[in-house]
Amino acid sequence: MNEMSVSSVDVGELLGKELGDLHLDILCGASHLDNSITNPRVQKPGLAFAGYYPYVKPGRVQIVGQSETEYIATLSAKTRRERLVEITSLPIPVMIITKDLPPPPDLIELCREKEVPVLSSPCLTSTVIKRISYFLEDHLVPSTQIHGVHLEIHGIGVLLIGDSGVGKSESALDLITRGHSLVADDQVTVKRYPNGELLGFCRAPLKHHMELRGLGIINVQDLFGLAAVRDRKSIDLVIELERWEAGKVYDRLGLEESLYRILDVPVAYIRMPVALGRNLSILVEIAARNHVLKIQGHHSARDFARRLEEEIERTRRAQTH
């Protein structure tokens, strides 16, 4: 199983295009933008300014807004400096001052001394908190890489896995020509969000591309249009393509419910044997359709087994009378 990793975000990443609307400027600490942010929750250090330092948690972005700056302005110079010395000595990766407010006296000097970058934004505090929280939640969640092909089929996310050369990409291409959409080919990045949802996507430069033996790299969006690709999609069903082995027992009724764990999240799982003459793309499409029915409460195999048992029971009773 692929290893799980929990990423960290360098302070410098906050200055990228994703948060460009915050117009963040560096007030100090440009040489320490490699400080690591490890906690997706941001916080306002108001209680710390009031002298309660355990409130400041390691690895969190500290947001200094108008209420904090107005409060610290009421303190004497001695008390203010003492508290700022304590706060800047804590494991803080970065401070962000909102609304283009002037930084409190001594803050820049002490942050420079303690290697804590200070950024400034003209935006409202609520806007900065919302945007940075969303950014960090998206970047600081458990993730893993899976070798496979991720598709959207009938509205659900289907992950095809299996040995190299078993036919994953070829089946995916056939499904794309049938109107379904590619999310990722070869390397699927999967993230687990706090609500338990698994989202798969493809990192650049492989995004929207597929590798086909004998053809090389193709751009699916260029060939089939925008509707043929998706940037990201949940993973709702895992189908493992495996080469047919004579004598091996395969589930023929579909009564067995198997699960495949990704980042400790169980996902519906099907083993599908690959043999000459089998149209894999149609079988994968039917498996996706059948999974949608199961989600809606219709389990064909169980319904068949139940009716069969009822018929056997009726026959038995008729024979006893």
User: Is 44 marked active-site?
Assistant: no
Query: Can you read off the two tokens belonging to residue 187?
Result: 């390397």
Q: Pick the catalytic residue: 168, 209, 230, 291?
A: 168
Give dist(CA 7, CA 4) in Å, integer: 10
Q: Dihedral through CA 283, CA 285, CA 288, CA 293, nearest 10? A: -90
| Three-state secondary structure of the chain | CCCCEECCEEHHHHHCHHHHHHCCEEEECHHHCCCEECCCCCECCHHHHCCCHHHCCCCCEEEECHHHHHHHCCCCHHHHHHHHHHHHCCCCCEEEECCCCCCCCCHHHHHHHCCCCEEECCCCHHHHHHHHHHHHHHHCCEEEEEEEEEEEECCEEEEEEECCCCCHHHHHHHHHHCCCEEEEEEEEEEEECCCCCEEEECCCCCCCEEEECCCEEEEHHHHHCHHHECCEEECCEEEEEEECCCCCCCCCCCCCCEEEEECCEEEEEEEEEECCCCCHHHHHHHHHHHHHHHHCCCCHHHHHHHHHHHHHHHHHHHHHC
Catalytic residue among 10, 106, 174, 186: 186
Instruction: Please confirm, yes or no, whether 303 is among the known catalytic residues.
Output: no
> Is 307 assigned a catalytic role?
no
147 has catalytic annotation: yes
Catalytic residue (choose from 213, 252, 316, 317) = 252
Catalytic residue (choose from 23, 130, 147, 298): 147
Instruction: Cite the active site residues.
Output: 147, 168, 186, 252
